């Protein structure tokens, strides 16, 4: 509350006692209102957020029941306590607590604006298991096929993301290829007419996987 | 370009998703103060200035509020701090650079509480921009606003001498111009991707 | 560009090339008979009107002063014919409203030799005396606005003149009076140049002639005495080459400062006809009583260059040369700068260089529909002073006269009409500008 | 000045209709243009935005009206802004609690209600001078006017741009959507088109009026 | 005084004017466009013919409607609406549904021209306003290309052409496959280059043997028709020269810095650059009038075209470059006012 008071003082330089008192009353009133609404809504909001996340993660890592949040700091993977800095990694487990896979965010500029997506990765098969577009303003009818077109989404059911022998990069970079020319499991078949958006998805995945997966290589035990 | 690079953020706010024409912030001054080129220029400059100031302010207030777990006061603090900072800048300007004050001064109070400024602060918070990113964003937004309002003012000065039908004079015309400008800026889609 | 300029004729930038129609250029100057009655307006040139010296009923002889100058910026008038003053009062004029004029009834039988004046030796006179003497001749510029010649030759003390520019361009279509003057009276012109050089203290003279008049250039070159500091320069045939500002640019590369006069950059400009006339009148102490006029146009039966006594009414002139009835327009002067008149009672004055009778042709500005400006930019490419007539025109249409003056240099427009000529939208640009200027002048007053 | 500004006057239909029609904040006053253009790409967004704004209008109006005698002149605007910001924050949390989907599609524009000049304008020129009941009715009118305007724009944009209304297919399968309508230019065009329509109607009725007047004069003569 | 015996008119000077009038200019632009239309019909068949007719009639109809409503009388006779229609049609893909063409024509005239006061007052190129609108409204249809010289083109419509009003056009992919044209991929040379790195043969680009919008395919024909207009001084040659020069230099610099970027000659002859520079950037109504401004304007548009093509999400940027050029025209004009004759060095104190 204290900042709010100071701020209001700054707004009214001619601060006689009455001015300060009125402002104080109003500020207190607002504060009380805001805080009570905040307290009241917080559980609902948290539940909403959780449900949304659960749905998103379930889509990219099928079979997830329990989720845990981690952060990949320079010193390694640590549980997310809200303070650590680094890339967020969501680990998903089935009901028995067995690791089903992880989910992470990726982004790249698409046709209209940045496309943000969540993708799942399964350490067992060393492949990407699904994507969920979190944010996109791609053109309806063209670019929006990256989350509406079933054929395109099928690319990500088991997209090869193996590490190379040295373990410092993907064995095969993930690339988007022209529609109808997909030949290898690490390639993404572009949507005809929305090559730009398709390529953005490929780029986002490749950028994220190339940096994240090598660093996770030694961390899987912590997740299990 | 990486989507979180400062350059990308700058270009995005400047042209690709122009702050005014695609993000719809600062529409009121864009429509209202775009009648003459020189006022539009002053408005653009003043807005850019206030944007940079408020972007910096908002960044630090947010850090402070997050640290103190007072995020629910964010909106109230943003608007209050931005308003008072601009007031201070105005006073300082009056004292140290009367010429600049004469050029921009009358616009400052008008700007303080418009949505371009608060929108900038809120968007940079929503997108978790770092300090550099915020700065790049505010520069892009200020530039984008100035660009849009200058183009608009140029067109409107030309149209002031045209035989515009009475029905389409005024706000309707400005909106249509804004629409065509917005169409034209769609050409920048995907730039830097 | 710099390389090419060796190959090109000396010229200024922009301007236009209207069809020349100079069919009368080979026709020698002929004298027109005297009209039964002549009308001499007291104000027929730039400056204060003259004051009448005669009363109705008074006999005058050809060449006699009939009105005196009123102050320095004014010139006297001389009787163009021998006859009797019929009246002194308001008469129709080319400018529209009626103006005070002296009407003289010609003595049909009287000899029309000039009986006034006495010879004198111009070579003995100093600059000041020359200028006073010129005022007495009643000379005004025969090339353009009719500015009193003696005023133009009295350069303020603080400026020194290095060059006298002699304007023999005659860039207006149809007109050939200057051309004929140069071909027929080259000696007089050279003499006139010497007088003017002396009056202004110029060390040299440049005669600018458009390259469509090689015979005139040849004639003049043949007359220039060995070693005299006088040069003939052939310049590109292009309208408005003859405008003094542009001729100076062409010949000397100098620009008359905006709102200023040529003397500020050491130049005085005189028209060839003015100087030739001067050389004829000054040694005899005579006054200006007649001038050469090109009478031409599709509506004229006997086009030609005629020596016409001042004050001769148009009706008489046209009767003499014959004209067809379907004339649509009568122009005094050239088609680009001249005025159109509606009354045949208007007299020929000192500034009338041509009388054109036009019939409806497709070249004429006329019924053509006026469109809004399509911003083709042709007017900007035509304007010799680099104005933006397109913008000026738009402003004029919205009556933004002040803005025209303050931001778009309206007052630098010298009304050459190039912009109106080229405009595909048929917008009367220069006409707008005249209105704008006069409104501004009124508001300022 | 019109009678309604007299604080003593009772509540009339005009108190309400003024904001809805004659002083419609969008079509007549052209206030708060940013949300009007930004969130009208679907009817649902337009409706949510309209309701949120109405709530803030009424809430802040009530509080301002309540405190109108206590607030000193000098800190008037600052107080109003704090009050408005409070209600905006409340709405913001409420929407998050109701539906994150809507919250995401409205983005920062909910919070930007703070700077909507319409709300500050109402607080300053109406709420601070009238009793609560009148303020509420007037605020409701203005809010309804704003919401209706948003809906006018939103319906056209969603109908043409996606062939749907509130997400339900209207035109059937083969309909070709006009994507431009839900893109940013569409916002400008649709609002511009409404203004053109109103201007044209006004001009036509004015022309009719003078035409009939002219006739009457003829008859009289 | 007696009355003058003649009926003469009183006018102020100048009493002469050129024979080059707005009507003459516009009529000749139509003449210059007809060969392009004819070639488009030869290349794409009756679908092209139908599209050209529908778009042009839509423009003329809209113009007539509004000029009647605003009491301006007949404004069709200045041919400018015809030009708008023809140019708009020539920038559309051959299989563009006719009803969308009609929408484009209406928007071009209504939003692009009438709104601002008609001929001479539009601030954007009307044809491009129409095209930009339909491009944003129907992005799929406007990026669906069909091959030139399809066997039955003079007897059969492209299926998408005849889509019912307000209905989605049918897929043309199966139709194209059915034509049995070897190696046709449904992409324009520009898209092939941008998305697949395949550069088309220069000779095909030059003579028009490639896919693309109706009017843009034959560089040769465009140069001839544009050259005719330039030679008759009905078009300002500086604009295409500046625009093409600006594009070439920008592309050459980029190509030099990174040979992965397209070759400048390819840039020049592919897509709508040549067509746009010749016929659309030169729409004088929306260009700066100042002589220096014209150069700045052209170079600016050429630069933008290449930047959009190379770095943007779209294979083609000419239309947007010209619209942005139009938008910037007043500003360009503002900073390029000519220096007047005799301008004094320092401000005179007055
Ligand atoms: C108005 C408009 C919107 C477009 N939107 C998208 C889009 O959202 N995503 C995309 O990948 N391509 C979009 N495109 C098409 C691209 O610019 C490009 O032509 C296409 O990606 C090429 O793909 P293709 O080679 O598979 O045909 C759009 C085109 C237009 C004209
Ligand atoms: C108000 C006015 C004052 C002038 N004063 C002088 C002057 O003092 N000296 C001079 O040489 N010319 C003077 N001029 C003459 C002009 O420089 C110019 O020669 C004259 O207007 C004829 O121009 P034109 O025949 O090109 O139209 C003056 C002209 C005007 C209109
Ligand atoms: C557009 C324009 C064209 C002119 N053309 C000629 C010309 O061809 N010949 C000429 O002697 N004077 C021409 N003048 C007038 C000159 O500017 C200048 O006034 C004249 O040469 C001065 O000589 P004067 O005082 O002896 O007449 C023109 C003036 C204007 C404004
Ligand atoms: C060289 C030239 C190019 C033109 N280009 C266009 C054009 O691209 N689009 C258009 O609508 N009109 C064009 N016009 C016609 C005319 O200028 C246009 O209808 C006006 O813009 C309408 O005010 C052109 C005219 C000329 C002379
Ligand atoms: S009067 Fe006319 S024709 Fe004669 S010189 Fe001057 S401008 Fe040329
Ligand atoms: S009349 Fe004036 S504006 Fe027109 S061309 Fe001549 S000087 Fe320029
Ligand atoms: S010549 Fe006429 S149409 Fe062309 S720009 Fe000038 S005023 Fe406009
Ligand atoms: S006199 Fe001049 S300004 Fe007046 S209407 Fe005619 S052309 Fe226009
Ligand atoms: S609502 Fe007014 S500037 Fe955005």
Q: Which two tokens stand for residue E66?
A: 């509004």
Per-residue pLDDT reduced to its tens digit, D93-135: 999 999 888 888 887 889 888 888 788 888 888 888 888 888 9
From C48, C72, C134, C152, give the residue whose CB has the most ligand 2 atoms within 8 Å, as the site to mutate.
C152
Length of chain D: 221
The average pLDDT across D186-206 equals 94
Please give the structure tokens belonging to residue C207: 């005669």
Q: What is the pLDDT of residues D49-89, one digit of tens each?
A: 999 999 999 999 999 998 888 887 777 878 888 899 999 99
| Pairwise CB contact (< 8 Å): B24 & D34 | yes
**Higher-pLDDT residue of E345, E243:** E243
Q: How close does chain D come to E326, measured CA to CA in Å? A: 17
Reported as half-sphere exposure (CB side, CA atoms, 13 A), residue C203 has a value of 3
pTM: 0.89
Of E144, E186, E313, which has the smallest distance from its Cβ to A196's Cβ? E313
- Residue in chain E lying closest to B16 (CA): E312
C173 and E CB contact within 8 Å: yes
* Residue E172 scores a pLDDT above 80: yes
Place of tokens 């709508």: E272
pLDDT at A220 over 70: yes
Low-confidence ranges of chain C (pLDDT < 50): 1-7, 362-366
E344 pLDDT above the threshold of 90? no
For ligand 8, say whether the CB of C432 is within 6 Å of any of its atoms. yes
Give me the sign of the Cα torsion angle C146, C148, C153, C154: negative
E strands of chain A, at which residues? Answer: 66-73, 76-79, 87-93, 99-109, 114-122, 127-135, 159-160, 175-177, 187-189
Three-state secondary-structure class, residue C366 = coil
Q: Which residues is A93 bridged to in the sheet? A: A66, A99
Residue B95 contacts E where some CB pair is shorter than 8 Å: no
Q: Look up tokens 């600018």; give the residue.
A: C208
Interface check for B3 against chain E (CB to CB < 8 A): the answer is: no
What's chain A's length in residues?
Answer: 224
Question: If we measure between CA atoms, which residue out of C142, C41, C137 comes closest to residue C97?
Answer: C41
To the nearest 10°, the Cα dihedral for C360, C365, C369, C374?
150
Asked if A48 and D67 come within 8 Å (Cβ–Cβ), the reply is: no
Dist. CA C245 → ligand 3 center (Å):
9
What does the DSSP 8-state code read for residue C157? T
Q: Which residue has the tokens 């402003």?
A: C395
Instruction: Band the pLDDT of D8: cuts 50, 70, 90.
Output: low
Q: Is C195 near ligand 3, meaning CB less than 6 Å away?
A: no
pLDDT digits (tens, 9 = 90+) for B9-44: 999 999 999 999 999 999 988 998 898 898 899 889
Q: Does C371 touch chain E (CB under 8 A)?
A: yes
- Which tens digits make up the pLDDT trace of E36-51? 999 999 999 999 999 9
pLDDT computed for residue D79 by the predictor = 85
Q: What are the pLDDT digits (tens) for B45-64?
A: 988 988 999 999 999 999 99
Query: Crossing angle of helices E291-311/E238-257, nearest 10°?
Result: 40
Out of C389, C394, C432, C439, give the residue to mutate to test ligand 8, the one with the largest number of ligand atoms within 8 Å of its CB.
C432
As a whole-number percent, the residues of chain E with pLDDT over 70 amount to 92
Model pLDDT, residue B110: 67
ipTM of this model? Answer: 0.87
The two tokens of residue D156 are 């056209």
Listed residue (C192, C231, C230, C236) closest to C213, CA to CA: C236
pLDDT for the residue numbered C169: 93
Among E8, E78, E348, beta carbon nearest to C329: E8
d(CA D2, CA D16): 14
pLDDT of residue E184: 64
- Percentage of chain A surpassing pLDDT 70? 93
Whether C171 lines ligand 3, by a CB cut-off of 6 Å, is yes
pLDDT score of A167 more than 80: yes
- What's the mean pLDDT when you consider all of chain E? 88
The ligand 9 atom nearest the CA atom of B24: 4
User: In the predicted model, is pLDDT for residue E149 greater than 90?
Assistant: no
Structure-block tokens of residue B34:
């775009």
How far is it between the farthest Cα atoms of chain E?
A: 90
Answer positive or negative: Cα dihedral of B74, B78, B79, B81.
Answer: positive
Give, in order, the Cα–Cα distances in Å from E197 to each of A216, D161, E145: 36, 34, 18
- Ligand 8 and C428: CB distance under 6 A: yes
Which pair of tokens denotes residue E138?
């129907």
- pLDDT bucket at A222, cuts 50 / 70 / 90: confident
Ligand nearest to the CA of E87: 4
Greater confidence (E53 vs A113) lies with E53
Give the model's confidence band at D4: pLDDT under 50 very low, under 70 low, under 90 confident, else very high.
very low
Question: With b meaning 16 or more CB within 10 Å and e meaning fewer, what string describes A36-57?
Answer: ebbeebeeebeebeeeeeeebb
- Name residue, tokens 């000029």: E67
Chain E neighbors of A143, CB-CB under 8 A: none
Burial A99-126 (b: 16+ CB within 10 A, else e): bbbbbbbbbbbbbbbbbbbbbbbbbeee
CA of C242 to the centre of ligand 3 (A): 5
């Amino acid at each position: 509350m204290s900042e709010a008071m100071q701020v209001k003082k700054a707004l009214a330089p001619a601060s006689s006692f009455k001015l300060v008192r009125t402002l104080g009353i109003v500020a207190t009133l607002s504060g009380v209102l805001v805080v009570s609404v905040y307290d009241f809504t917080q559980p609902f909001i948290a539940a909403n957020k959780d449900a949304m996340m659960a749905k998103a993660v379930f889509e990219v890592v099928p079979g997830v029941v329990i989720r845990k949040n981690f952060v990949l700091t320079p010193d390694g993977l640590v549980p997310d306590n809200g303070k650590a800095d680094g890339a967020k990694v969501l680990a998903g487990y089935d009901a028995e607590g067995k690791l089903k896979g992880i989910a992470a965010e990726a982004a790249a500029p698409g046709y209209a604006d940045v496309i943000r997506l969540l993708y799942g990765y399964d350490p067992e098969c060393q492949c990407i298991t699904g994507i969920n577009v979190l944010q996109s303003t791609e053109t309806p009818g063209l670019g929006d096929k990256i989350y509406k077109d079933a054929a395109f989404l099928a690319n990500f059911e088991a997209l090869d993301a193996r590490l190379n022998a040295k373990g410092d990069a993907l064995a095969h970079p993930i690339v988007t290829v022209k529609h109808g020319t997909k030949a290898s499991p690490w390639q993404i078949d572009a949507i005809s007419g929305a090559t730009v958006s398709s390529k953005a998805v490929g780029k986002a995945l490749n950028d994220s996987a190339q940096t994240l997966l090598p660093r996770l290589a030694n961390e899987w035990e912590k997740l299990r | 370009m990486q989507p979180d690079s400062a350059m990308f953020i700058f270009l995005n706010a400047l042209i690709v998703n122009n702050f005014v024409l695609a993000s719809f912030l600062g529409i009121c001054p864009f429509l209202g103060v775009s009648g003459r080129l020189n006022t539009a220029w002053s408005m653009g400059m003043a807005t850019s200035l206030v944007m940079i100031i408020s972007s910096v302010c908002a960044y630090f207030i947010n850090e402070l509020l997050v640290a103190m777990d007072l995020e629910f006061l964010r909106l109230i603090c943003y608007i209050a701090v931005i308003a008072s900072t601009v007031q201070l800048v105005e006073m300082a300007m009056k004292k140290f650079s009367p010429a600049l004050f004469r050029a921009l001064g009358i616009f400052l109070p008008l700007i303080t509480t418009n949505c371009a400024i608060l929108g900038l602060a809120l968007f940079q918070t929503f997108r978790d921009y770092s300090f550099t990113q915020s700065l790049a964003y505010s520069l892009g937004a200020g530039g984008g606003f100035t660009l849009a309002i200058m183009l608009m003012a140029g067109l409107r000065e030309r149209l002031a001498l045209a035989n515009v039908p009475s029905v389409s004079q005024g706000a309707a015309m400005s909106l249509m111009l804004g629409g065509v400008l917005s169409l034209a800026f769609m050409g920048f889609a995907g730039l830097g991707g | 560009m710099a390389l090419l300029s060796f190959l090109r004729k000396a010229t200024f930038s922009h301007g236009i090339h209207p069809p020349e129609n100079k069919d009368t250029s080979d026709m020698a100057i002929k004298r027109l008979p005297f009209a039964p009655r002549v009308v001499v307006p007291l104000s027929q040139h730039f400056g204060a009107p003259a004051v009448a010296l005669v009363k109705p009923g008074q006999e005058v002889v050809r060449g006699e002063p009939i009105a005196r100058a009123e102050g320095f910026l004014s010139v006297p008038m001389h009787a163009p014919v021998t006859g009797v003053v019929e009246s002194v009062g308001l008469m129709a004029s080319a400018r529209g409203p009626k103006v005070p004029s002296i009407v003289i009834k010609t003595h049909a039988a009287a000899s029309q030799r000039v009986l006034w004046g006495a010879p004198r030796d111009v070579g003995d006179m100093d600059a000041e005396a020359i200028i006073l003497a010129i005022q007495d001749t009643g000379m005004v510029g025969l090339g353009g606005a009719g500015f009193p010649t003696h005023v133009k030759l009295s350069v303020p003390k603080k400026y020194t003149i290095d060059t006298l520019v002699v304007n023999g361009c005659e860039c207006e279509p149809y007109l050939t009076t200057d051309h004929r003057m140069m071909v027929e009276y080259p000696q007089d012109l050279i003499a006139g140049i010497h007088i003017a050089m002396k009056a202004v203290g110029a060390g040299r003279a440049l005669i600018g002639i458009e390259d469509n008049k090689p015979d005139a250039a040849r004639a003049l070159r043949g007359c220039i005495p060995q070693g005299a500091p006088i040069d003939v320069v052939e310049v590109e045939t292009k309208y408005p080459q003859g405008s003094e500002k542009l001729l100076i640019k062409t010949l000397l590369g100098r620009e008359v400062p905006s709102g200023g006069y040529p003397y500020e950059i050491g130049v005085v400009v005189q028209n060839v006809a003015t100087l030739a006339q001067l050389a004829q009148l000054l040694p005899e102490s005579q006054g200006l009583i007649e001038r050469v006029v090109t009478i031409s146009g599709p509506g004229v039966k006997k086009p030609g260059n005629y020596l016409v006594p001042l004050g001769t009414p148009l009706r008489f002139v046209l009767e003499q040369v014959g004209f067809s009835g379907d004339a649509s327009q009568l122009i005094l002067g050239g088609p680009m700068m001249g005025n159109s008149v509606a009354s045949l009672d208007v007299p020929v004055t000192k500034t009338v260089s041509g009388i054109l009778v036009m019939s409806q042709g497709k070249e004429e500005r006329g019924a053509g529909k006026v469109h809004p400006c399509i911003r083709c930019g042709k007017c900007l490419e035509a304007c010799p002073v680099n104005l933006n007539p397109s913008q000026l025109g738009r402003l004029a249409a919205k009556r933004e006269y002040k803005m025209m003056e303050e931001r778009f240099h309206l007052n630098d427009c010298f009304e050459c009409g190039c912009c109106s000529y080229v405009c595909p939208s048929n917008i009367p640009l220069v006409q707008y500008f005249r209105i704008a200027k006069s409104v501004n002048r009124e508001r300022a007053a | 000045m019109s009678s309604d500004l007299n604080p003593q006057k009772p509540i009339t239909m005009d108190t309400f209709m003024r904001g809805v029609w004659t002083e419609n904040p969008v079509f007549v006053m052209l206030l708060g243009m940013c949300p009007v253009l930004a969130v009208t790409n679907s009817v649902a967004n337009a409706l949510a935005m309209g309701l949120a704004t109405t709530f803030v209008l009424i809430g802040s109006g009530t509080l301002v009206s309540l405190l109108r005698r206590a607030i000193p002149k000098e800190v008037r605007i600052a107080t109003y802004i704090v009050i408005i910001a409070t209600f905006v924050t409340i709405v913001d949390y409420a929407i998050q609690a109701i539906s994150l989907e809507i919250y995401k599609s409205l983005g920062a524009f909910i919070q930007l209600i703070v700077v909507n000049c319409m709300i500050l304008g109402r607080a300053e020129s109406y709420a601070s001078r009238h009793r609560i009941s009148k303020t509420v009715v007037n605020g409701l009118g203005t809010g309804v006017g704003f919401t209706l305007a948003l809906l006018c724009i939103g319906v056209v944009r969603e109908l043409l741009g996606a062939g749907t209304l509130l997400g339900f297919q209207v035109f059937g399968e083969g309909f070709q959507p006009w994507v431009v309508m839900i893109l940013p230019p569409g916002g400008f065009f649709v609002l511009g088109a409404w203004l053109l329509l109103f201007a044209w109607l006004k001009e036509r009725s004015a022309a009719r009026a003078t035409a009939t007047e002219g006739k009457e004069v003829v008859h009289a003569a | 005084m007696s009355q003058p015996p003649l009926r003469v008119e009183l006018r102020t000077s100048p009493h002469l004017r050129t024979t080059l009038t707005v009507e003459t200019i516009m009529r000749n632009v139509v003449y210059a466009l007809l060969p392009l239309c004819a070639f488009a019909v030869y290349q794409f068949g009756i679908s092209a013919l139908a599209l050209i007719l529908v778009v042009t009639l839509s423009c003329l109809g809209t113009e007539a409607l509004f000029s009647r409503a605003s009491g301006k009388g007949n404004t069709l006779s200045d041919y400018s609406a015809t030009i708008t229609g023809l140019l708009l049609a020539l920038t559309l893909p051959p299989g563009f549904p006719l009803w969308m063409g009609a929408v484009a024509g209406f928007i071009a005239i209504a939003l692009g021209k009438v709104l601002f006061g008609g001929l001479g007052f539009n601030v954007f190129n009307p044809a491009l306003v129409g095209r930009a609108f339909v491009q944003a409204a129907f992005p799929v249809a406007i990026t669906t290309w069909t091959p030139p010289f399809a066997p039955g083109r003079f007897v059969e419509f492209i299926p998408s052409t005849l889509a019912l009003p307000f209905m989605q056009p049918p897929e043309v992919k199966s139709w194209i496959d059915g034509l049995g044209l070897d190696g046709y991929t449904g992409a324009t040379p520009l898209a092939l280059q941008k998305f697949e790195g395949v550069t088309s043969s220069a000779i095909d680009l030059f003579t028009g043997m490639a896919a693309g919008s109706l009017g843009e395919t034959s560089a040769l024909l465009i140069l001839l028709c544009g050259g005719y207009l330039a030679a008759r001084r009905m078009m300002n040659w500086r604009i295409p020269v500046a625009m093409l020069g600006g594009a070439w230099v920008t592309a050459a610099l980029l190509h030099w810095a990174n040979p992965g970027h397209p070759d400048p000659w390819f840039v020049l002859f592919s897509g709508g650059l040549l067509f746009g520079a010749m016929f659309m950037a030169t729409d004088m109504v929306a260009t700066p009038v100042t002589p220096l401004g014209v150069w700045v304007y052209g170079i600016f548009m050429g630069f933008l075209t290449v930047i959009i093509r190379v770095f943007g999400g779209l294979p083609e940027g000419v239309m947007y470059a010209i619209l942005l050029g139009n938008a910037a025209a007043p500003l360009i004009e503002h900073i390029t006012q000519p220096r007047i004759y005799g301008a004094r060095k320092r401000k005179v104190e007055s």
